Amino acid sequence: MSRFFGPRVPLFLLTLALSFMAVGGYISNELDREVQVTDPSQVFFVQQGDGVIRVLTALEAQGIIRSGVLSRLSMVLRGDAFSVKPGEYRLRRGETLHTLLRRFNDNDVVVYNVTIPEGVTFQWMLERLWRHPQVTRTLSTANDEAIASLIAPQTSPEGLFLPETYLISRGTSDIEVLRQARAAMKRELQQVWRERDSGIPLTEPYEALILASIIEKETGLGSERPEIGGVFTRRIKKGMRLQTDPTVIYGLGSDFDGNLKRSHLRDDTNPYNTYRISGLPPTPIALPGKAALIAATHPQPGETLYFVARGDGSHAFSKTLVEHEENVRRYQLNRKQNYRSSPR
C-alpha cells in the first residue's frame, strides 16, 4: 500500500497547491477588473458610515462590479486596505475596481461651482446659495446666530465675503460656503492693507472694505476703478462729502423703487446718505471684488473730484464743479433712449 500511494501523495499535494494558487490568482485579480459603467455621467454614492464591505455590496447590487465577496477576498489576498469617504463619485470608463476604491479612499468626489458675483449684497448671495441644488440649507435667515458668530467682531455681514467661484461637493452646507468666502476675504483684505499706498485717508482695513464696496457699485468698468478710488480718496482728504448714489440706495433698502428722488438725497435719517453725512457710511454696501479692494488701497493719482455716468457704461471725470455741472447737463439731463449705467 505504501509503495502504491507513496509516490502519488506529493503529486496530489502539488496538484492541490497549484489549484489553490490558480484560484487565489483568479480571486486576487478581481481588483484589477474594470468596473462596469453604462453612462459617462454615472455616479456612485458612498453613504455616511459606510465601510468597504457595504460599499462593495452596493457596487455589486448596482451591477458595477461582478462580486462583492470576491472583491473583498482579493483585498485580503493582496493585503490592500482602503478607508472609504462618504460622498458622490463619478464613475469612469476603463478604471479598475482598485482605482475606484483608491478614489473612495482619497475622497475624490464630484465637485460643483458656486459663483458669487462682485457687487451683490449679502442677502442676494445668501438667497443664491439657498437656490443652489448642491447646497444644503442650515441657516434660517440672514440674521442667524451662526452668521453672527462667523463675522464677529463686526455686526453687519455686508461686504465680509469675497466674490469668487468656490468648489463644493454635493450636500455642502450654506454656512460652510460662507466660511470659505469669509476666510478668502480676510486673506485678500489683509494683503491689500499690508501693501496699501502710504497717505491714503483710511485708518483700518474695514474702512478700505467700505470704500471698495462703493467703488464696486459705482462702476462695472474695470479700467475706471482706480480713478474712482482716486476721486473718493481726494474728496475724503479735502473734507468733501462723497455724494454717491449707491450708498443712498443701499440705505433705502426695500423702499427704493428704482427712482432716486431729491427727497432721498435730503434725508438726514438715512445713515448711508453720503450727501448728508461726512466720510464713509457705517458699513460696506455690497461685496467688493479684488480689483475694487486694490482700487481703494491704491487709488489713481490726479486732480479729478467729480464723475458722472455717460450712459454707455463709462463715466466722465472732472476737476471742477463747473466742469462737472456741464457733464451733468450733457449726459444726465439730456439722456438718450439707449442710456445705460453699466457696460455691456
pLDDT in tens, 61-71: 999 888 777 77
C-alpha 219/C-alpha 215 separation (Å) is 7
Q: What is the DSSP string of 191-244?
A: HHHHTPPTT-S--SHHHHHHHHHHHHHH-S-GGGHHHHHHHHHHHHHTT-----
* pLDDT at res. 4: 47
Nine-digit cell string for 64 = 458595477
Q: Which has the closest alpha carbon to 185: 168, 162, 165?
A: 162
Low-confidence residues of the chain, pLDDT below 70? 1-29, 76-80, 334-344
What are the tens digits of pLDDT across the range 158-216?
999 999 999 999 999 999 999 999 999 999 999 999 999 999 999 999 999 999 999 99
Nine-digit cell string for 238 = 479735502
Q: What is the DSSP string of 101-160?
A: HHHHHHT----EEEE--TT--HHHHHHHHHH-TTEEP---STT-HHHHHHHTT-S--TT-
* pLDDT at res. 22: 45
Residue 241 has a CB neighbour count (10 Å cut-off) of 14
pTM of the shown model: 0.82
* pLDDT at res. 340: 43
Instruction: State whether residue 313 is helix, strand or coil.
Output: coil
Rounded to the nearest 10°, the torsion over CA 199, 202, 205, 211 is: -120
* pLDDT at res. 1: 45
Distance between first and last Cα of the chain:
101
Q: Locate the domains of the chain by residue range.
A: 24-106, 112-189, 197-331
Residue 37 has a CB neighbour count (10 Å cut-off) of 17
Instruction: State whether residue 87 is helix, strand or coil.
Output: strand
| Cβ atoms of 313 and 342 closer than 8 Å | yes
* pLDDT at res. 20: 44
167: burial class by Cβ within 10 Å (0-12, 13-18, 19+)?
Answer: exposed
Assess whether the previous peptide bond of 153 is cis (omega < 30° from 0): yes
